[in-house]
Structure 1
Amino acid sequence: MTATSPVLPARTPDSRAASLLAESAAAVDGGVMTHREFFRWLDERREEQAQRVERVPFEALRGWDFDPRTGDLRHATGGFFSIRGLRVRSGFGPVREWSQPVILQPEIGMLGIAVREFGGVLHLLMQAKSEPGNVNGVQLSPTVQATKSNYTRLHGGSAVPYLDSFRVPDPRKVVADVLQSEQGSWFLHKRNRNMVVEVGPEVEAGRDFCWLTLGQVNALLHHDNLVNMDARTVLSCLPDWRYASGDSARDHTSALHKDLEIRSWITRRRAEHDGAVELIPLKDAEGWRRSGDALSHARGLFFSIVGVDVSSGRREVPAWTQPLLQPHGTGIAALLVRNIGGVRHALLRARAEPGFLDVVELGPTVQCAPENYAHLPPADQPPYLEEVLRRRSAGVLYDTALSEEGGRFRNAQSRYMIIEVEEDFPTSAAEDFRWVTPWQLDALLKYSHHLNVQARTLVAALRTL
C-alpha cells in the first residue's frame, strides 16, 4: 500500500474540534447572518457578479491554440491547463480500450475554508463566486478556491483574498489538510489541497464573503446548484462531529467489514487492476472529431470540448476566453445506505478511472451518465442503476441537482441521491462493492486518494441527514 494509506485507528476526532463542529452543526439559523439575510445577500452578489458567457469558435480563443504538430490545445503561456489525448487500457468494465481528450493541469490547487468562533459558535467563511461553467452563475464556494496559476497571478489579475491564512498556517490551527483528486474521467492526475483552518478576529468577511454556521451550510446543501463542488469536497474532509459522543466505538465494532478488510480490499483492487494510461497527441484520439467550434465524439456521447468568451467585472481578470469541457447529459451519483447490525452502512464501489493517481478510488454505488450506456446491452449497464432509477420517493433521503466544477466544465450537473434500502436488501455484493460505515468513511477521508470527488459530495450530504 502507498504511503498515504490510512491506519483507521479506533479513536474519535480531536474532542475540541468535534465539539465545536457539533455545536455549529446544531445552529441552523441565526448567528452572524440569518437564513433570510443570507438569501438576500446572495441575490445581491448574483446581481453584482453577473457574467456574460458566450460560446465562441476555437479561432476566437485569445491566447489558446491547437499545436500544429500534436493537435493539443494549449495556452500561449504554457500555464493554466491543456487539452491532450489519452489512450486507456483497462481490465474492468464493458469497454476495455479507448481514446479520449483529457484535461492536463499539472499543478496542485488550493481549496480552503476559514473557520472562526462568534459567541462561542464556530462559523465558516464562505464565498459567493461566479464561474463561467456554472448553470446559474454565482454559487457558494470555499474561502479560497484557486489554482496555482491563479495565486501566482500568471493571468496578471488581482491577488486572491485570504490566501495567506492557508499558505503557511499555524499547525495548531489546522482542522483538516489533505490532498484529494478531482474527476478521474476528465482530468489526468488532478489534485487539490483541501484545508480547513481556524482564524482569529482579525479575519473579517469581505464584500463577497459571509460567515455561516455549519448547520446553515448543511441546510444549503439541500438546494439545487447552490453549494459548489469545491466547497463540498472541503466540507467532507472535516472530522465527522457526530462521533464526539463516543458512538464511534459501537460503529467501529459493528461494521460489516472490519477496518483491515476494507484496507486489504482497496489494496487488492489497486494491485489487480490490469490497465495502463498513456498521453498521446490529441489529434490521435480515435473516434473524436474537431470542427470549428467543438471537439466531440463521433457518436455524440460523453462530452465535448468547446470555447467560451467570458466578461465579468468582479473576477481577478475582467474578461478572458478559455476552453471548457461540456458533458452530454446529466450525471447520476447515488449512494445506497441501509441499517446493518444497528449501524448505518453505505455501499461504495471501487472505481478505476483513467485519471486517478492511484488507479482506484471509492465512488458512489452508482456513478454514470445513463445516456452514455444506452447503446450497451443490459448486462453491461452499471450495477444498481435500475434500482436507483425506479425509486421515486420511498427511501430517498437526499435528491439534489449539484454542479460540478464551473471553472473547467460547462453546465455540468449531477443528480446526487442517497437512498435507504430495506433491511432485506442483500449485504453480499460483487467484488467491486463493499458496505462501509460513516465512521470508516471519516477515517478514509483523513488520507489522500481514497474517496473520489462524487463520493465526497455524498459524504457531506450524508452528514446533513
Structure 2
Amino acid sequence: MGDRTGDRTIPESSQTATRFLLGDGGIPTATAETHDWLTRNGAEQRLEVARVPFSAMDRWSFQPEDGRLAHESGRFFSIEGLHVRTNFGWRRDWIQPIIVQPEIGFLGLIVKEFDGVLHVLAQAKAEPGNINAVQLSPTLQATRSNYTGVHRGSKVRFIEYFNGTRPSRILVDVLQSEQGAWFLRKRNRNMVVEVFDDLPEHPNFRWLTVAQLRAMLHHDNVVNMDLRTVLACVPTAVERDRADDVLARLPEGSFQARLLHSFIGAGTPANNMNSLLSWISDVRARREFVQRGRPLPDIERSGWIRRDDGIEHEEKKYFDVFGVTVATSDREVNSWMQPLLSPANNGLLALLVKDIGGTLHALVQLRTEAGGMDVAELAPTVHCQPDNYADAPEEFRPAYVDYVLNVPRSQVRYDAWHSEEGGRFYRNENRYMLIEVPADFDASAAPDHRWMTFDQITYLLGHSHYVNIQLRSIIACASAVYTRTAG
C-alpha cells in the first residue's frame, strides 16, 4: 500500500526499509574496483583550483549598498553579514560572515533492481573544495541555479526523474537543513526515486549495490556529504513480519546485530516519541535566538578582518572566506570563479551509544547554530571544532569532548574522516566516531542531551528541521557498521 503524489506512487516507509536491508546484495566482496573508478574519473575530469583575490573574481563583487559578496546574476549564493543574539552558551552576541543561498536544490539518488537486488546510481563528481577532487555523490546534485541553466552550461543529467517529467516511484522526499554555522537557513530536497527505464550509460555514473555503497563509508573522504545525507534519510523501521529475517543475517549479540536491532524498531526506547518531541519544542520555545542580517563590513565588530585576499578572524579561529578559480573538463560549465569557506581547523563529530534495557540508544543533543532554521536541531553527542574552545571557560567546553578525545580504542565502533560539501567548503574535514559507552555511563549532567533509539532518529529524518547534517552523516556511517558483515 502507499500514497500518491501526482502520478508517482509513494510506498509505505517500512516497505522501503525492508527492501534496502534485505536487498542490499549481501557482503561486498571488494571495494578496490570502485576506488579505481574514482581515481580514473579524477584523472579524466582534471580539476584545477587556484586561490585568487576578490578583485580578480570575474562576475563576483562586493555590492555597494551592503557590502555583500555576490554574483552579478543575483543567483547562486552570496557572502553576507549576520548578527546573532542568544541567551545561552559561551558567545551570546556576535556578527559573522555567512553563506546566503535561499534556493532549494536537489540531492537525488536513483535506485533500480537488477536480478532482484537493489542498486543505486552513484556519481563520481569533482568539487573544487574536495580534499581528493572526486568523490562518490548522489545521482543528482544541483542547485536551482544549476538546473535552470543560470550558469549557461549543459543540462543537468537525470533531473527529469526527480521533477516528475519522467516516470519514477518516490521512496524518499524530504527537505533537510545544511550546516547551520555557515549557511543561513539553507535547505535541500533529499530524494530517492526508483526508476524502471533503461538509463543511458555514462563514465561518471555507476550502479552499486546498497552494501557496496555503504562499505565505502569505511574509507576516508570517499562518500561525499550530499550522498551521506540522502542515505541517512532512507527509512529503517522494517515490516514487523520481516524483522527476524533482517536480524538473522548478523551474529547474535554482536554490536552490528544490536545496532541493527535499534535501527529497525525492534527494541524498547527509554523515552517515548511524544516526550522527545515535547523536549524539542520546549527547548525551541525557551531559547532566545535572534538572527538579523547586517552589512558585511559590520563583521569587524566581532574580530573579523576583510582583505582583498580573503576574510579571516583575528584569532585565527572559526573559518576563512576566499575566492578561487576553477577549471575542469567535465561539468555543466568547464571554468568559473566563486568564493569558498575554509574552516580554521578540523571538526569532531562523535555519537555515544549505550545499551539501555536491551536496546542500543544514541545520546543526541539539541544544538543551535548561527544560521539555523528552527532554533535547534538534533546533533551528535559531541559536535565541535575542539581548537575553537582551547581558551573557553571550563563550564562552556562542549559536553563529553574530553571523554571522546581520550576514549580507549576498545570502545570505538566506527572511526573515519569525511569531508563536507566541496561546492561551498574548501577541504573541510571532520572526524566521525561511533563510541559504545559502559552501562554505568551517566549522562544526567548534560540537560541538552537525550537518549534515543536509532529508529526514533530515522523516524524524525522523514520530517524537516529535526536532525542536522552532521547527525545525518553519522547515521549513514552507522548503517555501514551493520551492513559490513551482513550476508
The bucket for the TM-score relative to the shorter chain is over 0.9
Amino acid at match of 2:322: V
Instruction: Give the aligned partner of residue 265 of structure 1.
Output: 279
State whether residues 71 and 283 of structure 1, in contact with CA within 8 Å, keep that contact through their aligned partners in structure 2.
yes
State whether residues 13 and 171 of structure 2, in contact with CA within 8 Å, keep that contact through their aligned partners in structure 1.
no
In percent, how many aligned pairs have the same letter? 47
Shift of 1:50: 1.9
State whether residues 262 and 361 of structure 2, in contact with CA within 8 Å, keep that contact through their aligned partners in structure 1.
no
Amino acid at match of 1:437: T
Q: What is the aligned counterpart of 1:323 among 311, 316, 339?
A: 339
State whether residues 174 and 463 of structure 2, in contact with CA within 8 Å, keep that contact through their aligned partners in structure 1.
yes
Instruction: Give the aligned partner of residue 136 of structure 1.
Output: 132
Q: What are the superposed Cα offsets for residues 386-415 of structure 1, whole Å, 9 maximum, x if unpaired?
A: 001002412111111100100001011100
The alpha-carbon distance between structure 1 residues 171 and 177, as it changes in their structure 2 partners (threshold 3 A), is farther
Amino acid at match of 1:192: N
Instruction: Give the aligned partner of residue 3 of structure 1.
Output: none
Unaligned runs of 5+ in 1: 1-11
- C-alpha separation between the residues in 2 aligned to 1:29 and 1:312? 32
State whether residues 87 and 277 of structure 1, in contact with CA within 8 Å, keep that contact through their aligned partners in structure 2.
yes
| 1:75 and 2:76 are equivalent in the alignment | no
Instruction: Give the aligned partner of residue 5 of structure 1.
Output: none
437-446 or 374-383, larger mean C-alpha shift: 374-383
Instruction: Give the aligned partner of residue 60 of structure 1.
Output: 56
- C-alpha separation between the residues in 2 aligned to 1:462 and 1:171? 32
Q: What is the aligned counterpart of 1:209 among 164, 183, 205?
A: 205
The alpha-carbon distance between structure 1 residues 171 and 352, as it changes in their structure 2 partners (threshold 3 A), is farther
Instruction: Give the aligned partner of residue 359 of structure 2.
Output: 343
The alpha-carbon distance between structure 1 residues 16 and 69, as it changes in their structure 2 partners (threshold 3 A), is closer
Instruction: Give the aligned partner of residue 223 of structure 1.
Output: 219
Q: What are the superposed Cα offsets for residues 251-298 of structure 1, whole Å, 9 maximum, x if unpaired?
A: 576211111110100111111111201000001112211112011112
- Where in structure 2 are the equivalents of 1:408-419 lying within 5 Å? 408-419=424-435
| 1:25 and 2:31 are equivalent in the alignment | no
Secondary structure at 1:194 match in 2 = strand
Q: What is the aligned counterpart of 2:453 among 437, 445, 457?
A: 437
TM-score (norm 1): 0.93
TM-score (norm 2): 0.89
| 1:181 and 2:174 are equivalent in the alignment | no
Instruction: Give the aligned partner of residue 418 of structure 2.
Output: 402
- Where in structure 2 are the equivalents of 1:60-139 lying within 5 Å? 60-139=56-135
State whether residues 23 and 122 of structure 1, in contact with CA within 8 Å, keep that contact through their aligned partners in structure 2.
no
The alpha-carbon distance between structure 1 residues 249 and 41, as it changes in their structure 2 partners (threshold 3 A), is closer
Q: What is the aligned counterpart of 2:158 among 149, 156, 162?
A: 162
Shift of 1:35: 3.3
Q: What is the aligned counterpart of 1:276 among 252, 275, 290?
A: 290
14-23 or 128-137, larger mean C-alpha shift: 14-23
188-197 or 199-208, larger mean C-alpha shift: 199-208
- C-alpha separation between the residues in 2 aligned to 1:463 and 1:241? 13
Unaligned runs of 5+ in 2: 1-10, 244-260, 482-487
- C-alpha separation between the residues in 1 aligned to 2:206 and 2:115? 16
Amino acid at match of 1:462: A
- C-alpha separation between the residues in 1 aligned to 2:207 and 2:156? 18
| 1:255 and 2:244 are equivalent in the alignment | no
Q: What is the aligned counterpart of 1:372 among 361, 365, 388?
A: 388
Instruction: Give the aligned partner of residue 467 of structure 2.
Output: 451
CA RMSD of aligned residues (A): 1.9
State whether residues 398 and 418 of structure 1, in contact with CA within 8 Å, keep that contact through their aligned partners in structure 2.
yes
- Where in structure 2 are the equivalents of 1:279-290 lying within 5 Å? 279-285=293-299, 286=301, 287-290=303-306
State whether residues 25 and 218 of structure 1, in contact with CA within 8 Å, keep that contact through their aligned partners in structure 2.
no
| 1:191 and 2:187 are equivalent in the alignment | yes
Shift of 1:171: 8.9
State whether residues 352 and 436 of structure 2, in contact with CA within 8 Å, keep that contact through their aligned partners in structure 1.
yes
Shift of 1:426: 1.6
State whether residues 239 and 442 of structure 1, in contact with CA within 8 Å, keep that contact through their aligned partners in structure 2.
yes
Amino acid at match of 2:161: S
Amino acid at match of 1:309: T
Secondary structure at 1:394 match in 2 = helix
Instruction: Give the aligned partner of residue 356 of structure 1.
Output: 372
Secondary structure at 2:42 match in 1 = helix
Shift of 1:424: 1.1
Amino acid at match of 2:149: R
